[in-house]
Every structure is written in structure tokens, then in C-alpha cells.
Structure 1
Amino acid sequence: MAEPTESAPEKSGRVILVTGGNRGIGAAIAAHLAAAGHRVAATYRSGDVAPGILGVQCDVTDPQQVDAAFKQVEAQLGPVEVLVANAGITKDTLAMGMKDEAWQSVIDTNLTGSFNVTRRALRPMTRARFGRIIYISSVVGLLGSAGQVNYAASKAGLVGLARSLAREVGSRGITANVVAPGFIETDMTAELSEKQVADYHAQIPLGRLGQVDDIAAAVEFLASDAAGYITGAVIPVDGGLGMGH
């Protein structure tokens, strides 16, 4: 009798694509989801992604690069079932002195880039009659922030994008939700002065900055079957700073 051959290990979890998944909140989300057993890919423009995650170089402002990135993920992992649109940039300055490029580049990356990856994800999700689309916005998009009119506008736009999308594709089993982080400990906040951090603490009811894992946990929940009846929602993860706007 022939010896039984060893079969390939069964794939587990969902296929998840995280944009901007090579640093900060995006890297934490990708790592958290991979540790939970999902098959995770992450886009990046420069640098690299963590081990165990499929890295895909992609500028989300370019629809052709977006299409190529999805094809690579589909070929290596399968159709994208969960999209986490996280890629974003900041170019802060007061509105009166803001250059056209500073406005346009932030809108192009944060808002139009999120639309580009969404549009590419939708057809396969519609065919499968399942999908989770999760946008990473910001408390700034809801509260506003002096010197960040471009960033705040781009992040506020994600709420309208998600809620319109929820109405368009909900009948196909696709949800669209927004996570709105507050002040989170990252390399960016590590550069703040002690006084600035103390000022932020004073504004936050929980009295501390958030951790990247706080955001990753909210994303994991929205990606799960347990969140199947939640769509068009904005989930604030901000220590109470925005009080649920």
C-alpha cells in the first residue's frame, strides 16, 4: 500500500489587505491580524513590511498600481475579503499659507487613494457576497484641528465615503465602517515635548495616549463575523476625546 502523501496545510482566516501597512498604525494592524490567523498583505511605498505579511509596493493614488497590487494579492493569497484603507500622509500648515500641492497631495493619498482601493475591491466582494471595508480616519476629521484643514477634510471625507458605500453594497453582504483614532503613541507622537503630551492628556478623559494595539483590536472586531450587522458606523478609539462624534 502506498504511503499517504502529506497534504498542503489548509488555509485559514480571511484574506486581508492593509494599505500603508509598513509603519505606525498600519503595521500594527497588519501584525495583529496576521497573529489572529488571517492571511495578510500590506501595501507600502518605501521600506518593507514585517515577516509573515505579504508586502506589495503600491502608490494608492495610482489606479494602475492599485490594480497590479490587487492582482498580486489575488495570485498569492486569494481574493481580498477585508480591505483596511489606512494609507495616509500629513502636510500641516495654516490655511492662509497652504500651497496647492500640500492640499492636493493629502486629499489624493488619504481620500482618493482610499476610493481607488475600494473601487478595485468591490467587484470581487460583490461576486462573493461578502466583504469588510474599514477606513482609518481620525478624531481630527470630526473635531477639526488648526493647521490641518487638508488632513481633517480628507479624514472627514472617509465618513461620507463609508456611509454612501454602506447603502450601495449592504445588500451584497458588504459592510463599510470607519475607525477614528485619537492621539496614539507612534514615532510621530514620540517627537512631542513633555508639555505637549501633558496638554493632550488633559484633554483626554482616560488621561493617556492610546496604543496602536487599541486601533488594531477595533479593526479586528469590524473584520470579524461578530460585526456582520454593523455598517456605516464611526468607531471612535480616542479615550473619550471626541465623545462619539
Structure 2
Amino acid sequence: MTENPDTSGTTAEKTAGEGRVAVVSGGSRGLGRVLVERLLADGWHVATFSRSASDFVTEAMAAHPGSFHWEAVDLGEPETARTFVRNVHRVFGRLDLLVNNAGIVREELLFTMPPKAIESLITANLVAPIMLTQACARVMTRQGGGAIVNISSINAVRGYRGVSVYAAAKAGLDGFTRSLARELGGHGIRVNSVVPGYFDSAMTAEMPAASRARIERRTPLGRLAAADDVADAVLYLSSPRAEFVTGQSMVIDGGLTC
């Protein structure tokens, strides 16, 4: 039988996700939502979690009953990551991709930040991704391979006032990426990070117009990224086209940090 021509992408691009299973943390809104939508469109089975369901989660469960799985999860406790991954494996039978997207931001000078706030930032942005990665990597090792993409931040590579604790956590995530790539390469698991700059989101929507204009002037490409720009990098690193790429941090900031 002759296949119909496909003008929306190459055959490799269209079939890269067929039958594969992705876990995306924090997939109910923002960048996580875009990632979930893009992966589902590419034929992936997608599992995600968040503290509470959003309208998008409800709609996705109705539209993709056989390929979308969501749970209410708070990664404050290590055991919750293991339980979630066990449930995903029970539902889909395998695990090919982890995207550590979930995180929180708090802008405050270090000397005024309460200890509990410091602990919360480190836990959400570093400890929780590590624990989720450990659980997923065990499954990937048993099945013979996979890909892990950590969502970092340009705060990890350039200093900004008021985000020192957040920056420390994201820099730790980049270091974790490089070291883990060496640990898992022999098992066929690639580990990379995507380092976004400012991109259109609920947070930047509240940014004063003057601040946004200043960032755009300092960015060689003259604009903030779209969430799809960041998602493109994640999908590339998740695809066979990046099969020889590991231990790397891909900066997506339009040249702001160059």
C-alpha cells in the first residue's frame, strides 16, 4: 500500500513518539501543558502530575482516555515519586522519557528569606527532580534505555538579584545532568537539560512593560521566547535526532546570555 505524502513533518518526526511513554512533571499549565500537548500530538502516551487538576487536565483526560494519565501528586515526600512511577508503568508498561519541568520561583533577597522558604525552593527545584529521576531511571535501565530532560534556567548561568536560592537549585540541576549522563550512558539513557531564558508565560505576563522592553532590547533576537521555542528543544533532545547528545545544557534565550 502506498502511503499518503505527509507535509507536516518527516516520517521520523511523525513516528518518533508512536507507542512511547513520557512523564512530564507539572503538566497542568504553562510550559508543562505545552509539552504535554506537543507530545500527545506526536503520538506519545503521556503521564503527568500536579498538586491539583486544571481545566486542561480534565479536557485532556476526556480527549485522550487511552494515552493520557494524570495524578494529584506533591513531590514533597520521596515515596510519592516512586508510587507515581509505579502507577505509570502499570498503566502503560514502559517509560521512555522524563521531563523534569515542575518547579517554583520566589524572588526575595537571601537575608530576608525564611528558612522554610529556602528549604521549599531547594526541595521543589532540585530534590524532587532528583527523586523522580531516580525512580524513572530504574525503569529505563531495566528496559534498556530512555531520555531525561531537565528544565533549568538562565539563572543557573548568570547572576540575578533576588533569586540566589532558586539559582542555586537550578545550577545544581545542571550539575546533576552532567554527572548523571556519565552514570547512565552505559545503560542507553541520555540526560540533558534545557535552559530557558524569559519566555511568554503567566509570570512574564505580569512583568511591567518597561522591564519586558528592556529584556527585549538586550536580547539579540529581539523578543521573549514562546513556550513552543522551549518545547522544540525538549522534543529535539527526546528524539532519535539527538541520539548522540548527552550531558549537555541547551540554552534557549535568544542570545541574552551570550
Please report the TM-score for the alignment, with normalisation by the length of structure 2.
Answer: 0.87
Equivalent residue, structure 2, for 1:74:
89
CA 1:201–1:99: 2 relative to 1, 3 Å: same
Equivalent residue, structure 1, for 2:80:
65
- Give 1:12 deviation, angstroms: 2.6
Letter in 2 for 1:40: V
Do 1:61 and 1:116's aligned partners in 2 also have CA atoms closer than 8 Å? no
Q: Classify the secondary structure of the residue corresponding to 2:191.
A: strand
Identity %: 39
Deviations 1:28-82 (A, max 9, x none): 1111111111111111112332513321221123222111211221121222210
Q: Classify the secondary structure of the residue corresponding to 2:157.
A: helix
Letter in 2 for 1:33: L
Equivalent residue, structure 2, for 1:18:
24
Equivalent residue, structure 2, for 1:43:
49
Measured in 1, the distance between the counterparts of 2:248 and 2:79 equals: 30
Letter in 2 for 1:213: D
Do 1:17 and 1:40's aligned partners in 2 also have CA atoms closer than 8 Å? yes
Q: Classify the secondary structure of the residue corresponding to 1:143.
A: coil
Equivalent residue, structure 2, for 1:176:
191
Matched, 1:131 2:123: no
Equivalent residue, structure 2, for 1:153:
168
Letter in 1 for 2:255: G
Query: Larger deviation: 214-223 or 66-75?
Result: 66-75
Do 1:18 and 1:86's aligned partners in 2 also have CA atoms closer than 8 Å? yes
Measured in 2, the distance between the counterparts of 1:78 and 1:57 equals: 20
- Give 1:23 deviation, angstroms: 0.9
- Structure 2 portions without partners, runs of 5+: 1-16
Do 2:199 and 2:227's aligned partners in 1 also have CA atoms closer than 8 Å? yes
Letter in 1 for 2:106: K
What's the Cα RMSD here?
Answer: 1.3
Deviations 1:162-189 (A, max 9, x none): 1110111101110100000010101111
Residues 148-227 of structure 1: matches in 2 within 5 Å?
148-227=163-242
Letter in 2 for 1:190: A
Letter in 1 for 2:32: G
Deviations 1:118-140 (A, max 9, x none): 11011111112211010000111
Deviations 1:209-240 (A, max 9, x none): 10011111111111111111000000011111
Give the total of aligned pairs: 233
Query: Larger deviation: 175-184 or 193-202?
Result: 193-202
Do 1:60 and 1:109's aligned partners in 2 also have CA atoms closer than 8 Å? yes
Equivalent residue, structure 1, for 2:126:
111
Letter in 1 for 2:246: T
Do 1:57 and 1:69's aligned partners in 2 also have CA atoms closer than 8 Å? no
Deviations 1:81-129 (A, max 9, x none): 1000011001210112111112110100110011010110111111122
Letter in 2 for 1:128: Q
Measured in 2, the distance between the counterparts of 1:236 and 1:19 equals: 20
